[in-house]
């Protein structure tokens, strides 16, 4: 019986520049090229992308070029690529999604360009026809109902069928739009995107899986899963024959470390050990460090900043230091008002994750006390870090 070998990737976020660092933008292109290499090396019959190809619907020219170059290598090898659009690919206003350009160039078949839900017959490299269905990312209060309607109109075929979705499943997070049980049965494989860590489930004779993003793009993603994958799927009608994860070699190493402060000497000893581990990487692969130091007395705060700067400035690509100040006697009227969810409020106001993080950090610094000058210095430092100015 005919089977197809599919490489499943998602959430590549081409063009994303974490912390405003040019190197982080390049990291994402490096791992994108590694994925193309894997597809060629494994002689897959097709590639599916479950959304968020680009980080925004107005990607920078270099991101478009990297996409075109990678996809062209696949096309030259006869490997078709099919994608569905994620929340990052869909323009906020009435503009052309960048996927339409790649579709026109014959480099990427994108489901959902003509109507929100769509199914196409795609001829794989080996010649076997594959039925590929998908729905553009649905969000907002009516998303669940719409997805139910669309999925009801997308039955699998008798042959090999793949379903591409860029949504949150109930099985992974509380703000879900669908549960595993809502997926129409009979597909050979369910290629999911949107969640940036790898997860997978059996669904009858098939599997449903998120490969996760090829790079950890946020702190919580680095914390949850340091290794990154793409998935190799072998499918036949109604059945996932095998599902293999391939570990990516090029994502930048990231360290998430939490240390409870006892005194400066023991902190220095811990941080020296950490630096030892971090320094094992070659210069072009300097890690990112997310460092949390808990219960620091206010009087030691500046020393901790200086120590971290001295140890990690040259040994990491960038480090983010989060100091949790231990307040011995905080007057009542200075305590944080717990009724208001400041983060949520800022999120609604600013609608930009990086800005929200910066605002939170500035507020923390302002609250932490000190002279006007030391506060200003720390705020300036936070600003520089956020925008990657050295
Ligand atoms: Mn994403």
- Name the CA dihedral angle for 360, 364, 366, 370, rounded to a multiple of 10 degrees: -160
- Residue 360 burial (CB count, 10 A): 14
Whether 19 and 385 have beta carbons less than 8 Å apart is answered as yes
Q: How far is the CA of 105 from the centre of ligand 1 (A)?
A: 24
Q: How far is the CA of 12 from the centre of ligand 1 (A)?
A: 7
Give the mean pLDDT of 230-241: 97
Q: What percent of the chain has pLDDT over 90?
A: 78
pLDDT score of 322 more than 70: yes
pLDDT score of 203 more than 90: yes
Q: What is the DSSP letter of 178?
A: B
Which segments of the chain belong to CATH 3.60.21.10? 4-247
Residue 138 pLDDT: 95
Please state, in angstroms and rounded to a whole number, the distance separating the CA atoms of residues 324 and 359: 17
Q: Kindly report, residue by residue over 282-318, the tens digit of the pLDDT.
A: 999 999 999 999 999 999 999 999 999 999 999 999 9
pLDDT score of 379 more than 70: yes
Q: What is the DSSP letter of 177?
A: S
Q: How far is the CA of 75 from the centre of ligand 1 (A)?
A: 24
Q: Kindly report, residue by residue over 136-159, the tens digit of the pLDDT.
A: 999 988 999 999 999 999 988 999
CATH fold label, 4-247:
Purple Acid Phosphatase; chain A, domain 2 (3.60.21)
Give the mean pLDDT of 108-131: 95
Residue 191 tokens, joined: 């290629």
pLDDT score of 332 more than 60: no
Residue 169 tokens, joined: 């499943």
pLDDT score of 366 more than 70: yes
Residue 88 tokens, joined: 């990052």
Q: How far is the CA of 86 from the centre of ligand 1 (A)?
A: 7
Q: How far is the CA of 365 from the centre of ligand 1 (A)?
A: 30
pTM recorded for the entire structure: 0.82
Residue 39 tokens, joined: 């597809």
Q: How far is the CA of 122 from the centre of ligand 1 (A)?
A: 25
Residue 193 pLDDT: 98
Q: What is the DSSP letter of 86?
A: -
Active-site position among 5, 8, 88, 196: 88
Contacts of 261 (CB under 8 A, 6+ apart): 267, 293, 294, 295, 296, 297, 300, 304, 326
pLDDT band at 333, cuts 50/70/90?
low
Residue 384 pLDDT: 83
Residue-averaged pLDDT of the chain: 92
Look-up of token digits 């906020």: 92
Query: Lowest-pLDDT range, 11-15, 268-272, 360-364?
Result: 360-364
Q: Kindly report, residue by residue over 58-101, the tens digit of the pLDDT.
A: 999 999 999 999 999 999 999 999 999 999 998 887 789 999 99
Residue 349 pLDDT: 82
Give the mean pLDDT of 219-223: 93
pLDDT band at 328, cuts 50/70/90?
low
167 three-class SS: coil
Q: Is 73 exposed, middle or buried (0-12, 13-18, 19+ CB in 10 A)?
A: middle
pLDDT band at 329, cuts 50/70/90?
low
Q: Kindly report, residue by residue over 4-40, the tens digit of the pLDDT.
A: 999 999 999 999 999 999 999 999 999 999 999 999 9
Please state, in angstroms and rounded to a whole number, the distance separating the CA atoms of residues 47 and 156: 19
Q: How far is the CA of 195 from the centre of ligand 1 (A)?
A: 7
pLDDT band at 337, cuts 50/70/90?
low
Element (H or E) spanning 111, and its range?
strand 109-111
Residue 196 among the catalytic residues: no
Residue 390 pLDDT: 61
Residues with CB in 5 Å of ion ligand 1: 11, 52
pLDDT band at 386, cuts 50/70/90?
confident
């Amino acid at each position: 019986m005919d089977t197809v070998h599919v490489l499943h990737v998602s959430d590549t976020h081409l063009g994303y520049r974490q912390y405003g660092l040019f190197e982080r933008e390049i990291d994402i292109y490096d791992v994108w090229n590694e994925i193309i290499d894997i597809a060629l090396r494994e002689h897959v019959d097709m590639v599916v992308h479950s959304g968020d190809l680009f980080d925004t619907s107005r990607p920078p020219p270099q991101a478009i070029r990297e996409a075109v170059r990678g996809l062209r290598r696949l096309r030259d090898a006869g490997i078709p690529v099919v994608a569905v659009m994620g929340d990052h690919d869909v323009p906020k206003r009435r503009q052309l999604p960048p996927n339409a350009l790649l579709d026109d160039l014959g480099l990427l078949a994108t489901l959902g360009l003509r109507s929100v839900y769509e199914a196409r017959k795609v001829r794989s490299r080996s010649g076997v026809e594959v039925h590929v269905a998908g729905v553009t990312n649905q969000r907002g209060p009516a998303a669940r109902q719409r997805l139910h309607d669309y999925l009801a109109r997308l039955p699998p075929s008798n042959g090999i069928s793949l379903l591409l979705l860029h949504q949150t499943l109930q099985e992974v997070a509380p703000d879900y739009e669908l549960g595993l049980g809502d997926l129409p049965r009979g597909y050979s494989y369910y290629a999911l995107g949107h969640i940036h860590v790898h997860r997978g489930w059996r669904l009858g004779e098939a599997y449903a899986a998120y490969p996760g993003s090829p790079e950890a793009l946020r702190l919580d993603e680095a914390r949850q899963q340091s290794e990154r994958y793409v998935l190799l799927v072998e499918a036949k009608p109604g059945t996932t024959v095998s599902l293999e994860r391939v570990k990516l070699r090029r994502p930048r190493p990231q360290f998430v470390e939490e240390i409870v402060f006892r005194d400066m000497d023991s902190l220095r000893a811990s941080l020296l050990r950490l630096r030892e581990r971090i320094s094992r990487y070659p210069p072009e692969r300097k890690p990112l460090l997310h460092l949390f130091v808990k219960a620091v007395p206010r009087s030691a705060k500046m020393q901790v900043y200086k120590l971290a700067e001295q140890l990690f400035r040259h040994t990491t690509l960038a480090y983010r230091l989060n100091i949790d100040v231990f307040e011995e006697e905080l007057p009542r009227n200075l305590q944080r008002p717990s009724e208001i969810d400041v983060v949520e409020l800022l999120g609604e106001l600013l609608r930009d994750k990086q800005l929200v993080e910066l605002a939170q950090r500035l507020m923390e610094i302002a609250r932490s006390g000190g002279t006007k000058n030391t506060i200003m210095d720390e705020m300036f430092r936070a600003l520089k870090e956020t925008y990657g100015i050295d």
